[in-house]
Amino acid sequence: MLGIWILALFLLSTAEGKEVCYERLGCFSDDIPWSGTTERPIHKLPWDPKKIDIHFNLYTRENPTSFQEISAIDASTIDYSNFNTSRITRFIVHGFIDNGEENWLSDMCKRMLTVEDVNCICVDWKKGARCQYTQASNNVRVVGAEIAYFVNVLKEKHGYSPADVHIIGHSLGAHVAGEAGRRQPGIGRITGLDPAQPYFQGTPVEVRLDKSDAEFVDVIHTDSAPTIPYLGFGMSTAIGHLDFYPNGGEQMPGCGKNPVSQIVDIDGIWEGTRDFVACNHLRSYKYYSDSIIYPDGFLGYACASYDVFETENCFPCPQEGCPNMGHFADKFKGKIKNNFVKLYLNTGEAKDFALWRYKVTVTLSGNSKVKGYVNLALYGSGGNTRQHQIFEGTLQPDNTYTSFIDAEVNIGTVTKVKFLWNNNWLNPTFPKLGAATITVQSGENGKEFRFCGSGTVREDVLQTLTAC
Amino acid sequence: MANTLPPCLLLVLLLLAPVLPAPHKRGLIFNLDTGELCLQSAQCKDGCCHRDGGLSLARCVPKAAEFQECSPKSIYGVYYKCPCESGLTCDVDKTIVGSITNSDFGTCKDPRGSRLW
């Protein structure tokens, strides 16, 4: 009984609503919607910016390997640095537990600098991110306010337009970007890399990242299963102008490895341990990073659901093209018609993650039906693929089988196709099977290529089909 | 040679095996996915247990496609360059030293390809 009274007293005292104020940034309260709702039951106030200790680490083409620390509080550091107002600026913000000097942030900057001339700023707020989750998700508000303040200083002191600012945030960092965009209207673009789900999904737009936070908001969802019970860390709801759900958005290929193989990673034990804890969740920034060097390797197909995407209904890309997931998503900025666009695609299971989607239709030829599988390899101006299995089951001559190949190379113009079948065990009658015609359709531009084959082949023998 | 480095690993895998009942489609010892650690190509779904060097750990990877580098099937079961996919042959000049050290490398070719063009 006493316990209940203490609990009631505790709840009452916290429900009153407190407020903290910090210089430059203003006041932060723990009133609804910030706390005290079903999504955010625990009351927490954001920490002092001094305690969170936010750093802005600048990389440019002049200093691609070592960063210069700049600060809006001491604006002269911006003047002395390699920051150039004629270039666009991209902020990269990490999430929970993470660290702004973690390799993925600087590697992403380095990749950007190979394709464009930018001011790339890694935002480090590790002291505010390495605490209880409920605390970190409130510290987000202060970090967002600091970025907004930084952008404002650029605007006031250097005449720098917020439209030239792009904020890339991973996990909690995505909501940092949302907060910055809410405080500083007119920010050009925000990219949410698997925005954090607990404490944000289902909350009002001022709490979380939303399409109203910037002129263009694109989101990559890679871990959108519910936190309870599946431990998905990312949001499942569509919140941007473009929402990409690679591999369906819940389970990423390459993330289902056994624990030993996952931790003992090619990129080291540290990277492996990170993946062991949150493989799906971390895939979002890996895809983004790869999309910088493979602009056309991550095309998103607008579709009702992932299951429909796996059928023929959402193929190929429409007349105006498919949006690119990742870095070049803003190419599609002016073409958005619908309110929320859900886009689907498949990716590879290890780097490089880029894949190019083709639809293949095979008409079989032969005398007898057999059980087995059919493999196809595509050859073209850009190279050739591995053999991809397109069908398994009863192979009936004159029947047509349709499937998709997510090719690991951009084949370009398809020049020939190789066909191979196998019935999995030795058949003493030595049946023969062939492909009479194969059509290959490119997803990117809808171009169709037609190939014809003559005769039949024994199992495990390649049949080459040429254009006709 | 192939079994010198990871016997402890095999032990770990064997101990883990009864603890984690393998789901239907993937396994801990056999039917391993791409990227999982292996000792033998027979364990891999894709049919090639590959390592970069003599001291590095081996992982399952897909077999070599046409025009990619390959090595012929070896008794070691672990490869520096994977064997070719079905229907292709690894075009290589075999040497005695090469077959002992598993370093006869060639290129995957379609044996019927040359006839057609």
- The residues near B101 (Cβ < 8 Å, ≥ 6 apart) are none
Which pLDDT band holds residue B20 (cuts at 50, 70, 90)? very low
> Cα(B113)–Cα(B117) distance, rounded to whole angstroms?
7
Which pLDDT band holds residue A387 (cuts at 50, 70, 90)? very high
pLDDT digits (tens, 9 = 90+) for A403-441: 999 999 999 899 999 999 998 777 788 889 999 999 999
- The residues near A21 (Cβ < 8 Å, ≥ 6 apart) are A27, A28
Judge whether A175 counts as a catalytic residue: no
Distance of CA A238 to the CA centre of its chain: 13
DSSP characters over B47-105: S-EE-SSTTSPPEE-PPBPTTSEE----TT--BSSPPBPTT-EEE----HHHHHHT---
Establish if A387 touches chain B: CB-CB under 8 angstroms: yes
Q: Which of A171, A194, A292, A188 has the alpha carbon at shortest distance from A247? A: A194
Residue in B8, B34, B57 to test binding to A, most A beta-carbons within 10 Å: B34
Q: Which residues of A57-93 are buried (b: 16+ CB within 10 A; e: fewer)?
A: bbbbbeeeeebbebbbeeeebbeebbbeeebbbbbbb
Q: For chain A, what is the mean pLDDT?
A: 92
Query: In this prediction, does ipTM exceed 0.95?
Result: no
Number of neighbours of residue A439 by Cβ within 10 angstroms: 17
Q: Of the residues A35, A81, A137, A171, which is catalytic?
A: A171
Looking at residue A392, its pLDDT comes to 92
Residue in B24, B37, B68 to test binding to A, most A beta-carbons within 10 Å: B37
| E strand intervals along A115-233 | 118-124, 165-170, 189-193, 216-220
Looking at residue B2, its pLDDT comes to 40
Looking at residue A428, its pLDDT comes to 81
Size of interface A-B (CB pairs under 8 A): 70
Judge whether A265 counts as a catalytic residue: no
pLDDT digits (tens, 9 = 90+) for B44-89: 998 899 998 888 899 999 999 999 999 998 888 899 999 999 999 9
Query: What percent of chain A lies above the pLDDT cut of 70?
Result: 97
> Cα(A400)–Cα(A416) distance, rounded to whole angstroms?
19
CB contact under 8 Å between B35 and A254, yes or no, is: yes
Element housing A20 (H / E): strand A19-22
Token match 């003992």: residue? A264
The helix-helix angle for A133-158 and A172-183 (nearest 10°) equals: 40
Looking at residue B30, its pLDDT comes to 85
Looking at residue A102, its pLDDT comes to 92
* Whether the predicted pLDDT of B94 surpasses 90: no
Look at A228 and A170; give whichever has higher pLDDT: A170
> Cα(A216)–Cα(A241) distance, rounded to whole angstroms?
6
Looking at residue A3, its pLDDT comes to 55
What are A259's two structure tokens? 């624990």
How far apart are the CA of A68 and the nearest CA of chain B, in angstroms? Answer: 37
Looking at residue A193, its pLDDT comes to 97
- The residues near A51 (Cβ < 8 Å, ≥ 6 apart) are A127, A128
Looking at residue A135, its pLDDT comes to 95
Tell me how far apart the terminal alpha carbons of chain B are, to the nearest angstrom.
42
Which pLDDT band holds residue A108 (cuts at 50, 70, 90)? very high
pLDDT digits (tens, 9 = 90+) for A260-280: 888 988 888 888 999 888 999
* Whether the predicted pLDDT of A35 surpasses 90: yes
Peptide bond into A33 cis (omega under 30): yes
Establish if B1 touches chain A: CB-CB under 8 angstroms: no
Length of chain A: 468
Looking at residue A60, its pLDDT comes to 96
Query: What percent of chain B lies above the pLDDT cut of 70?
Result: 72
> Cα(B70)–Cα(B108) distance, rounded to whole angstroms?
6
Which pLDDT band holds residue B27 (cuts at 50, 70, 90)? low
CB contact under 8 Å between A385 and B65, yes or no, is: yes
Q: Measured between CB atoms, which of B13, B26, B116 is closest to A464?
A: B116
Q: Measured between CB atoms, which of A350, A384, A418 is closest to B35?
A: A350
pLDDT digits (tens, 9 = 90+) for A191-239: 999 999 999 999 999 999 999 999 999 999 999 999 988 999 999 999 9
Establish if A458 touches chain B: CB-CB under 8 angstroms: no
SS3 call for A384: strand
Looking at residue B26, its pLDDT comes to 55
* Whether the predicted pLDDT of A186 surpasses 60: yes
Q: Which of A317, A312, A319, A255 has the alpha carbon at shortest distance from A283? A: A255
Q: Which residue of B has its CA nearest to A424?
A: B86
What are A301's two structure tokens? 């197909």
Judge whether A74 counts as a catalytic residue: no
How far apart are the CA of A192 and the nearest CA of chain B, in angstroms? Answer: 28
